[in-house]
Structure 1
Amino acid sequence: MAKNTRSNDKYQRILDAAIKVFAEHGFYHSKVAEIAKAADVADGTIYLYFKNKDDILISLFEGKMNEIIAQLDSRLVDVRDPLEKIRIYIAGHFELVRDHHDLAEVITVELRQSTKFMKEYRNVQFTRYLKILADIIQEGQAGGVVAADVSPATMSRALFGMMDELALSLVLSGPRKKQSLDKMVEEISAFVLRGLRPAQSDEGLHGGAGEEGRERL
Structure 2
Amino acid sequence: MAAVNKHAKIILAATKVFAKKGFFNSRISDIAKEAKVADGTIYLYFNNKYDILLSIFEEEVGKIFDKTQQLLSEEEDPRRMLEIFTNQHLRQMKKNKNLAEVIQIELRQTNKVIKNYRNNKFSSYINIIAEIIRKGQKQGVFRPDILPDVAKRAFFGALDEVSRVWNVSLETHYTVDEITHQVLSLFLSGILIENPGKH
Q: Matches of residues 95-110 of structure 1 in structure 2 within 5 Å? A: 95-109=91-105
Q: Deviations over 1:41-67 (max 9, x none)?
A: 221111111111221111112211211
SS of 1:157 mapped into structure 2: helix
2:123 alignment counterpart: 127
Question: Is the aligned partner of 1:189 residue 2:146?
Answer: no
1:92 is aligned, of 65, 88, 113, to: 88
- Partner of 1:45 in structure 2? 41
**Structure-to-structure mapping, 1:146-185, within 5 angstroms:** 146-171=142-167, 173-174=168-169, 176-177=171-172, 179-185=174-180
State the Cα distance separating 1:155 from its structure 2 match.
1.7
**Match of 2:50, as an amino acid?**
D
Quickly say closer, same or farther: Cα 1:133–1:110, change in 2 above 3 A: closer
Which residue type is aligned with residue 23 of structure 1? A
Which amino acid is 2:171 matched to? R
Distance 2:180 2:55 in 1: 29
Structure 2, gaps ≥5 residues long: none
Deviation, structure 1 residue 124:
2.8
Q: In the comparison of the two structures, how many residue pairs are matched? A: 191
- Distance in 1 (CA, whole Å) between partners of 2:107 and 2:28 is 16
Answer with 33-42 or 66-75: which moved more: 33-42
> 2:174 & 2:99 partners in 1: Cα distance?
21
Partners of 1:11 and 1:49 within 8 A in 2: yes
Flag the structure with larger Rg: 1
Is the partner of 1:28 in helix, strand or coil?
Answer: coil
Change (3 A) 1:11 1:175: farther
Cα distance in 1 for residues equivalent to 2:107 and 2:35: 20
Alpha-carbon distance in structure 2 between the residues aligned to 1:134 and 1:108: 20
What SS does structure 2 have at the residue aligned with 1:8?
helix
* Aligned residue identity for 1:11: H
Q: Which residue is equivalent to 1:18?
A: 14
The TM-score normalised by the length of structure 2 is 0.82
Rounded Cα–Cα distance in structure 2 between residues aligned with 1:86 and 1:191: 12
- Amino acid across the alignment from 2:79: L
Structure 1 61/158 Cα, relative in aligned 2: closer, same or farther at 3 Å?
same
CA RMSD of aligned residues (A): 2.6
Identity of counterpart residues, as a percentage? 39
Which TM-score applies when normalising by structure 1? 0.76
